[in-house]
Amino acid sequence: MSIDGLWIGQVAMAALMNIAFAFAVGSALLAAWLAKDGVQTVAPARPALLRAQRSLVMGAVVLVLADLGWLVYQSATMSGVGLPEALGVVPSVLTQTHVGFAWSLAFGGAVVLLFTSLASHHGTLRNALLWLAVIAVAAGKAALGHAADAGIASAAIGMHTLHVLVTSVWGGLTLSAGLAVLPALDTSTARGVLIRTAGQVSGVSLMAVVFVLLTGAFNAARGSGGSLEAIEFSTWGHVLTLKLALVALALVLGGLNRFSALPRLRRTASTMDTHTFNNVIYLEALAMLGVFVAAAVLSHSIPGFAALD
């Protein structure tokens, strides 16, 4: 692994892809939960619904652009040329490499996600296409990582696809709720909607976290080859340790909200407890940003077991 301008640019694009995808997934869920409460123009939940819908569109747009940027950097890395010359290599990468196939799947899903985010926010067909697009993006992203070394039809690909999905659900809900949607419910008239939505965010996040930990453990064991030395003495292992520390921080903050702030908010419905919940989930969102950046670095680093060979 050579840490140069191309590697840094590629990791930056990958981190942006991770964050944008999660933001879109979380916003889609929040928009679905707020659809009934915010359908009326004068409804207290209307501003939050509009923020969720706009965040979905914004996330999908950034995802499409980051995908394109990543492909150019990847083409330059694979061909050993500069960025301007890499544009001429892109067709060959797309048609002749595994990376091209996996990227096409992820990019196709991102484009469908963008179009569905711009379409009417009601309808079974639209919702089905949106979530199929989410699965396609997750599968494509998984196939672009180290899991592809085990082959396309492998348990590693399946587990990593699930890991990408559940991480995007947990992290996406945290990012969208903490940075965009829940602050729009910080009024007394929207307090009931806030409490209900906060409960949904907390409950779904908890379920997602269980699968994040299980699939993450599988990926960590595979990347380290089951060796603690691979974690202790490799760059990959050091980045993994940082990622785990950030995950632990996010878990602590999420636990504070679920077991302390949210119960108080349900009892009192007070402005102070509302601010406490929103402030804690905001901090959790910042921790998740770090998790997604660390995940991008891991996916573009030599796995621990290979680095020690």
* Tokens encoding 254: 């999420």
Q: Is the pLDDT of residue 84 over 80?
A: yes
275 vs 263: CA distance, rounded Å: 14
Convert the pLDDT of each residue in 115-157 to its tens digit: 999 987 778 899 999 999 999 999 999 999 877 666 666 788 9
* Tokens encoding 21: 């995808």
* Tokens encoding 116: 């569905």
Position 283 confidence tier, pLDDT thresholds 50, 70, 90: very high
234 vs 195: CA distance, rounded Å: 45
Identify the DSSP state of 240.
H
Q: Is the pLDDT of residue 101 over 90?
A: yes
Q: What is the pTM of this model?
A: 0.95
Q: Is the pLDDT of residue 309 over 60?
A: no
Of 160, 254, 134, 252, nearest in space to 212 by CA: 160
Task: For each of the domains in the chain, give its residue range(s) and CATH number, in order of start.
Answer: 5-307 (1.20.1630)
74 vs 141: CA distance, rounded Å: 14
Of 191, 190, 174, nearest in space to 258 by CA: 174
